Amino acid sequence: MKYKNFMPCALDMAKLAFERGEVPVGAVIVKDGEIIASAHNETESSNNASHHAEILAIERACRKLNNKYLIGCDLFVTLEPCAMCAGAIINVKLNRVYIGAEDKLCGAAGGKVNLFEKGLFNHTPEVYFGFSADECSRLLKDFFAQKR
């Protein structure tokens, strides 16, 4: 399969989160070149700190495929996953993770810690940074500037 960048779709989800007063993080999961699930942060609207974009997209993709594993699937996410989301990514065995903005404060793909270090767990996804990084970062900065 030829590679296609789905980060614009993840950014659309992040912008929707922004409009809804959520931290603007968006995620899409792709299988065989098609989006099978998408989500944005919903922690504020659900009063649930675990409702990160990645977790919600993973839940939806697993439901769609009727499988607890997402082997053969890729994740596009606008912000580097936290430790909770990195753990979920490892457990569902996503193939690749494409990341927009780095997160030096809470990132678990190398920003703060690296849970995707080869050999650390039973599964290690390929990780790629820098997809629409400036736009992803700007959206987050604008959101937090508005909150101050």
Q: Write the DSSP string, 59-76.
A: HHHHHHHTSS--TTEEEE
* Rounded mean pLDDT, 8-28: 98
What is the average per-residue pLDDT within 74-90? 98
**Other beta carbons within 10 Å of 53:** 30
Q: Report the pLDDT averaged over residues 93-110.
A: 97
Q: Which strands form 34-40's sheet, in the order they lie side by side?
A: 34-40, 26-31, 73-79, 96-101, 126-129
Are 22 and 11 within 8 A, CB to CB? no
Residue 1's pLDDT band (boundaries 50, 70, 90)? Answer: very low
Q: Tell me, yes or no, if 22 is annotated catalytic.
A: no
Q: Please, what sign has the CA dihedral across residues 144, 86, 116, 65? A: negative
pLDDT average, residue stretch 90-117 = 97
Predicted TM-score (pTM) of the model is 0.95
First to last CA, the chain: 45
Q: Per the residue annotation, which of 42, 54, 80, 102 is the catalytic one?
A: 54
Report the pLDDT averaged over residues 10-36.
Answer: 98
pLDDT tens across 116-144, in order?
A: 999 999 999 999 999 999 999 999 999 99
- Kindly tell me if the per-residue pLDDT of 109 is higher than 70: yes
Pairing label, strands 26-31, 73-79? antiparallel
Residue 102 has pLDDT above 50, yes or no: yes
Q: Which residues carry a binding-site annotation?
A: 52, 82, 85
Give binding residues for Zn(2+) as ranges: 52, 82, 85
Element (H, E) at 54: helix 53-65
pLDDT band at 3 (very low <50, low <70, confident <90, very high): low
Task: Give the pair of three-digit tokens for residue 2.
Answer: 């030829």
